[in-house]
Structure 1
Amino acid sequence: MPQLDDMDDMDDLTSMSKVTDLDQDRGLLLSWGCGEFGQHGHGGSGENVSSEGALVDHGDSLVRSHRVKHISCGSSHTAVVTGQDEVLTWGNGNSGQLGCGDKATHTSPQRLRLGPHDSQVAGVACGSRHTVVWLENGRAYSCGNNFYVQLGYDFRVKNYKENQIMKQHLKDELSGKEGPVEVLPHFLRPIMHRKVVQVSCGKKFTLFLFESGQVAGCGNW
């Protein structure tokens, strides 16, 4: 049974969509709860779904046609890893936590954009307004709110509290051009020398478990 992260603040439970795995072999989804941001995956927003109608079988074709193998829920967004090694996200994206390139709310699944990588996705973890993805090779990526440095990248970098944007935009900005601002997952270089095997996110913090058995954390406790 997948774990629901971000359980440290009971206030979040009022807006959290509950998602679980119905059948490990078939990879079907059960989802119920608040849909203010469409985080339950049933399409549309502003409606609550009861456990009786929890089967996500009338949502976006990306979810229906892809076997789901990992799931995580934030306060108002959801992320899944499919058998096709894709990370799909939906719900509230106002902090860039969906990792799809913008800060919009999406009621249908969006592909989280990791960029080129040569390893399969091992898992995904959602905090209140941030998301962390890690690969089989131990590399990790994060996106979303970083006000408390919960994304795990170097806080000494200028404007570290801002969401990461596309490198091309930075080049355009330096050259005086105007380009698109895209909120994308950020590769966690500070821990690249260690193999990440598990991640858990709280409301304002992130914990990383390494292959060595050591645990590292960042954010506000």
Structure 2
Amino acid sequence: MRGNSGQAIVCVQCLQCLRQQYVPVRLGSSWRKRVLKREAIKDRVIQYAGDTAHQTQRVYVWGLAATGALGIRSYLRPEAKGQRMLRYQPRPALQTFWDGKHTKVEDAACGYGFSVFMTKNRKWGVYGTGINTESQLGVHEYPRNTGRLLEYIIEPVRIDLPLKAPDTTRVKHVACGRAHTLILTDKEGVFSMGNNGYGQCGRSIIESEQYRGNPLIHCIAELPDNISQVICGPDHSFFLTETGQLYSCGLGADGQTGAGHFDCVGVPQLVQGDIQGETIVQVSCAGDCVLALSENGDVFGWGNSEYNQLSMVSQDTQVAVAKHLPMRGLGRVSMVASGGSICGVLNDKGSVFVWGYGILGKGQMVESSSAPTQIPDTLFGKHDFNTDSRVSILRSGLSYFAAITSSGDLYTWGKNRGGNLGLGQRNDQFFPFKVSVPAEVGDVRCGVDHMVALCKTFT
């Protein structure tokens, strides 16, 4: 290659050839070996990343694009003449709605065919894209004053919250269920919107309530002031306090609210059972089976157990209160992931253990396990030449898992609805497989058929 000055530029990958006193350089239109003196080579090596270089945020999305959940407008409204709509995006695509410099995505959540993003510029904001048939993204009219409501939103639009102090209140966390959304603020509590047919929005159930075009954004007054996280199942919700107490509301047909009964809960209540007195730090529930983790590394479970998710402590198919799950021989658990019929935990050594029924990540021959079994560390890139690699984050969508390593690599496995695993095809994946993301993955959010990855550039 030649630089702007016309000088030959040494290929950085070929610097090992210095011992032989020559390096390959491009002269004209072909590659040749040219003898260069060591003194001359020093002037031709380019430093690609300077001392002041810093990482820039990138947001990648993939999966079912037909709903608009990916938020890339050109997929559903092609810009080029003759170009077809894109129904599936089975590999990571850069979400260009935010530049990552002036406006950053601080958090995101994936629902059933829709996504919500929490952004920060000069002020905090919430944006939504995808299915909006139940007003889970608020009410959006276009054109204005025409009565034409947007039931499908193909790129992010701002969700305006009824804040008392919009200039000083900031958004802390967002979560999405099947057709409802929760938004946590630092000073004005938790707001909910969308379908409340089972009380999942934390308010009383109104018979025959119409949710299409419903402008109600409800502030849940029955919660304490110290809520730190909000978590959504398909039709139920959880609210975790800074002191580790857990409240729930919504559908309880499988006992997934942990309220001690199987009825719907409209007003948030404390989860009952072995969880009482524990300091909870994480909750996971992509389906109707719920896993919770305490600060001591203890794991608790409740809800659906039709596929032996909770058979280690109960033979019932529905468990209405939290039960302590024995995790013998696994080490200290640092993270839990519940994907409906499949469950997983991550220990402090970076090893992943799975159980339940479905694609567990141990091949086609292993489709069920009543006790946690380990997925070999080598399937996550750990080997003799990369001994420091370990899984640091474990997430789950409905019937699939996602694992992020300490080096920022992403691995997925399980059901591949709409290409939600990001592997470039739509076949189910029976072992963890590395996703080709051109950035360092920091965290992911898993929907039922799409994913959002919060990343940073390599340099």
Match of 2:153 in 1: 49
- 1:216 aligned to 300, 303, 306, which one? 300
Matches for 1:1-221 after TM superposition, within 5 Å: 1-4=106-109, 12-13=112-113, 17-23=114-120, 26-43=123-140, 47-51=151-155, 53-56=156-159, 59-62=160-163, 65=166, 66-103=169-206, 104=209, 105=211, 106-115=214-223, 117=224, 120-154=226-260, 160-164=261-265, 183-190=266-273, 191-220=275-304, 221=341
Compute the displacement of 1:27 (Å).
2.1
Compute the displacement of 1:202 (Å).
1.5
Structure 2 CA distance for partners of 1:31 and 1:203, relative to 1, 3 Å: same
Structure 2 gap segments, 5+ residues each: 1-105, 142-148, 305-340, 342-459
Kept after mapping to 2: 8 A contact 1:81/1:87 = yes
Q: What code does the residue aligned with 2:258 have?
A: G
**Deviation per residue, 1:104-136 (Å, 9 max, x gap):** 445331012335x4x511110011100000101
Q: Distance in 2 between matches of 1:70 and 1:24?
A: 16
**Deviation per residue, 1:36-88 (Å, 9 max, x gap):** 0000124476621121x5223xx343399242110000010000111215011
Q: What code does the residue aligned with 1:121 have?
A: I
Q: Distance in 2 between matches of 1:141 and 1:5?
A: 21
Instruction: Give the number of the structure with larger relative contact order, counting CA–CA contacts within 8 Å between residues 6 or more apart.
Output: 1
Q: Distance in 2 between matches of 1:2 and 1:32?
A: 14
Identity %: 26
Structure 2 CA distance for partners of 1:38 and 1:139, relative to 1, 3 Å: same
Match of 1:180 in 2: none
Q: Distance in 2 between matches of 1:143 and 1:77?
A: 12
Compute the displacement of 1:205 (Å).
2.1
Structure 2 CA distance for partners of 1:30 and 1:54, relative to 1, 3 Å: same
Q: Distance in 1 between matches of 2:297 and 2:188?
A: 26
Kept after mapping to 2: 8 A contact 1:38/1:107 = yes
CA RMSD of aligned residues (A): 2.4
Q: Point out 4+ residue stretches in structure 1 off by more than 6 angstroms.
A: none
Q: Distance in 2 between matches of 1:133 and 1:74?
A: 14
Q: Distance in 1 between matches of 2:221 and 2:236?
A: 14
Q: Distance in 1 between matches of 2:162 and 2:259?
A: 34
Q: Which has the higher helix share?
A: 1
Structure 1 gap segments, 5+ residues each: 7-11, 155-159, 165-182
Could you state the TM-score of these two structures normalised by the residue count of structure 2?
Answer: 0.37
Kept after mapping to 2: 8 A contact 1:124/1:199 = no
Kept after mapping to 1: 8 A contact 2:249/2:268 = yes
Q: What code does the residue aligned with 2:133 have?
A: E
Aligned residue pairs total: 185
Could you state the TM-score of these two structures normalised by the residue count of structure 1?
Answer: 0.74
Q: Distance in 2 between matches of 1:42 and 1:205?
A: 31
Secondary structure of the 2:107 match is coil
Kept after mapping to 2: 8 A contact 1:138/1:194 = yes
Structure 2 CA distance for partners of 1:214 and 1:3, relative to 1, 3 Å: farther
Q: What code does the residue aligned with 1:189 have?
A: Q
Compute the displacement of 1:152 (Å).
1.5
Structure with larger Rg: 2
Q: Which has the higher strand share?
A: 2
Secondary structure of the 1:184 match is strand
**Deviation per residue, 1:138-185 (Å, 9 max, x gap):** 11110000111111222xxxxx22123xxxxxxxxxxxxxxxxxx211
Kept after mapping to 1: 8 A contact 2:170/2:185 = yes
Q: What code does the residue aligned with 1:204 have?
A: D
Q: What code does the residue aligned with 1:82 have?
A: T
Secondary structure of the 2:153 match is coil
